[in-house]
Structure 1
Amino acid sequence: MTDHGAAPEQLSDAIRSARFRKEREASWQRLDTLVALAEKRGVRNLSYEDTLALPSLYRQAMNSLSVARAISLDRALLAYLEALCARAYLVVYAPQESLRDALARLFIFYIPQAVRRSSLALLIGFLAMILGAFTGFMLFFEDPAWFYSFVPGALADGRTPDASESYLRSTLFDSGGHRTEALGAFAAFLFSHNTQIAILVFALGIFVTLPSFALTYYNGLMLGAFYALFHDASLGYELFGWLSIHGVTELSAICVACAGGAQLGLAVLMPGNMTRRAALRARGRDAVCLVILAGLMLVAAAFIEGFLRQTVQSTELRLLIGWGVGLGWLSWLMLSGRRQTPAQREASQ
């Protein structure tokens, strides 16, 4: 009895499913075709009529899916409609932009806006570097032996308190013996080394900013002791030019990386009205933008240090290039992205 009763019911469901499909299948197929075209070529390349029809066909498919679920049609049809509606949703509602557009938004809007929102974190990064440099400079004149504690021997490369003024000067000005291949290898080494420092400074920021502050402070100690060495030999101005051509960008990059880490540390230390997890999520976006900026600056600094610092022999020209590049960074970060993106305007409403 049960089997004979179930058979007519299953037959009725099959007939109802076939009728339901026949009445709507043409619109589903057209939607499937439009979605496939949009996935392959982008919505922007659809014709005006197709672009106008796409949201209407999507709503019809969603209604069909709702009805299909309510009257329990066959599973194959449900699976097809669910997959079609999911693909159509991404085409209709998901952001349709190329990689070029995404990068443009990152550099025009997100990075400059993140920098302007990160004033406290940036203050921490630059303050750590400045305090370290001042301390290293003062300790050198207290006792030149501090130089050996702050500056590694490989970095000093013979530029020590025992070196003569003529030798120190020779390390700032080259007679032109650097080959392009050697400079390229030097630039690659510097990029790798500086990137490791920036990543470490950024990663340590999560620990309430103190380790990244300390590491940036130590970099400042090296800088201060190094400058004091040349200042003591009456070469302070020349070293300032030698450092400026790449250091304005490179040292700023390390401070920016420290600020990125500080953003994470501040989220843990001062979450405000949010939970620490929510604060980390909110500040994490700006932190990522800052570390991307630091990486970009390090690439530029490695190129400048490897190819320009030793080929440009004039102190005045070194100063002009270094601080001119620095002014370019500052202008971009302070002036770009003043208006909101469409997504930001929509989120703020």
Structure 2
Amino acid sequence: MNAVTSNAGGNAIEIAALRSDRFRLDREADWRRLEAIVTRMEKGRLRGISDEDLLALPGLYRTVASSLSIARETSLDAATLAYLEALVQRAWFVVYGPRSSLTEWLHGFLGGGWSAAVRGIGFEILVALAVMVAGVAVGWLLVSHDPEWYFTLVGRDMAGARVPGATAEALRGTLFGEREQDGMSVFAAQLFSNNAQVSILSFALGFAFGIPTLLLLIHNLALLGAMGWLYHGAGLLTDFAAWICVHGTTELFAILLSGAAGLHIGRALAFPGNRPVLQATAEAGRRAAVVMAGVVLMLVVAALLEGFARQLVDDTFGRFAIGGFMLALWCAYFFAFRGGARR
């Protein structure tokens, strides 16, 4: 009985080995050809690759990927599986992987790609800007008619000492001498967190034809209008504007761009023109994604300005100078600098 079992086991192993060898022999030429092409491309020897091999590359990749799938299903030997898995992984990066390094991508992005994408949504930027200005006006008018609206827009937790009825001296204390005020740092962090969330949501909600994006922009800027009304009543509007200006010209610009990016997608969905909806949306989405990658960078810059520059510069003129410089820098980059990127 043991002899029979041993013979059966030996026959099974021999059959499996034979099947593995036959599988390899039938397909090995394609594997070797793909491996040779991939190796040359990995080493940067593109000139040594014939046009015939380049044209055959996608088909060879699919053939080897199919071989790997069959090898897994039929439980071929481990060496063949390991070889095919490594080859398919290498070929994937050659066929579908990124065509440029991170350094090259950053050079293209900052060297004109980002600014070109921003100029590509110029109409939506104008719409978003108009809506944001309207939001400030709405917030101001609401609280001027009924101060209770202030707490609806700003919230009691965020407001702190900034409440209707506060003295001018108390409000002035919230704008100056920030180095000794931990509460101001907390408020600044809350404000930045709120604006960062608005930036992300403004973009993400653009798929709903841009309507939620518009409402979000109005609501967020109404908060700024309400606070402007409060400081105006105490004769501190200019000082408040400078306090906001340090980081606000960057942070609010980021909100403007994210809202415009969301509107760009919403407009492509609602008005695709002569193109299919999916094609129009995909094109708008690619452009908007480039804009949003830059928005993240702007929010990081705004956080640094909010955490350091505004704390260190404690006078109105200096704050306006910093904010004005940043606004001029962003406008010059987006609308004057063309770089070498192609649209």
Same fold (TM over 0.5): yes
Which residue matches 2:118? Answer: 115
**What is the distance in 1 between the residues matched to 2:55 and 2:222?**
68
SS in 1 for 2:161: coil
Matched letter for residue 213 of structure 1: L
How much has 1:289 moved relative to structure 2?
1.6
Which residue matches 2:306? Answer: 305
Which residue matches 2:47? Answer: 52
Which residue matches 2:173? Answer: 170
Change (3 A) 1:148 1:337: same
Which residue matches 1:243? Answer: 244
Gaps of 5+ in 1: 1-13, 44-49, 66-74, 345-349
Matched letter for residue 304 of structure 1: L
CA contact (8 A) 2:140 2:222 kept: yes
**What is the distance in 1 between the residues matched to 2:40 and 2:118?**
40
Change (3 A) 1:321 1:210: same
Change (3 A) 1:187 1:300: farther
CA contact (8 A) 2:111 2:341 kept: no
Matched letter for residue 172 of structure 2: R
**What is the distance in 2 between the residues matched to 1:269 and 1:175?**
47
CA contact (8 A) 1:151 1:225 kept: yes
**What is the distance in 2 between the residues matched to 1:85 and 1:149?**
58
Change (3 A) 1:234 1:54: same
CA contact (8 A) 1:205 1:262 kept: yes
Change (3 A) 1:61 1:89: farther
CA contact (8 A) 2:247 2:310 kept: yes
Which residue matches 1:157? Answer: 160
**What is the distance in 2 between the residues matched to 1:60 and 1:250?**
48
**What is the distance in 2 between the residues matched to 1:305 and 1:122?**
24
**What is the distance in 2 between the residues matched to 1:60 and 1:208?**
42
SS in 1 for 2:207: coil
**Deviation digits for residues 281-306 of structure 1 (CA, Å, limit 9, x no counterpart):** 11111111222222211111111112
Q: Indicate whether 1:208 and 2:209 are aligned.
A: yes
Matched letter for residue 133 of structure 1: V
**What is the distance in 2 between the residues matched to 1:111 and 1:224?**
30
SS in 2 for 1:176: helix
TM-score (normalizing by structure 1): 0.73
**What is the distance in 2 between the residues matched to 1:265 and 1:316?**
40
CA contact (8 A) 1:109 1:338 kept: yes
CA contact (8 A) 1:133 1:221 kept: yes
**What is the distance in 2 between the residues matched to 1:97 and 1:280?**
25
How much has 1:220 moved relative to structure 2?
1.4
Q: Indicate whether 1:331 and 2:326 are aligned.
A: no
The CA RMSD measured in Å over matched residues stands at: 3.7
Matched letter for residue 322 of structure 1: G
CA contact (8 A) 1:205 1:265 kept: yes
Pick one of 102, 105, 111 that aligns with 1:102.
105
Q: Indicate whether 1:226 and 2:246 are aligned.
A: no
**What is the distance in 1 between the residues matched to 2:264 and 2:234?**
40
**Deviation digits for residues 207-253 of structure 1 (CA, Å, limit 9, x no counterpart):** 11111101110111111110011011110111110010011111111
SS in 2 for 1:36: helix
SS in 1 for 2:312: coil
Pick one of 130, 134, 137 that aligns with 1:134.
137
Matched letter for residue 111 of structure 2: I
CA contact (8 A) 1:58 1:89 kept: no
How much has 1:51 moved relative to structure 2?
4.7
**What is the distance in 1 between the residues matched to 2:51 and 2:276?**
42
CA contact (8 A) 1:244 1:323 kept: yes
CA contact (8 A) 1:187 1:307 kept: no
CA contact (8 A) 2:135 2:220 kept: yes
Q: Indicate whether 1:261 and 2:262 are aligned.
A: yes
Change (3 A) 1:134 1:175: closer
CA contact (8 A) 1:132 1:219 kept: yes
How much has 1:56 moved relative to structure 2?
6.2
Which residue matches 1:5? Answer: none
How much has 1:172 moved relative to structure 2?
0.3
- Give percent identity, aligned residues only: 34
SS in 2 for 1:313: coil
Pick one of 122, 127, 135 that aligns with 1:124.
127
Which residue matches 1:70? Answer: none
Which residue matches 1:321? Answer: 322
Matched letter for residue 125 of structure 2: L
Change (3 A) 1:162 1:211: same
Matched letter for residue 52 of structure 1: R
Change (3 A) 1:335 1:89: farther
SS in 1 for 2:273: coil
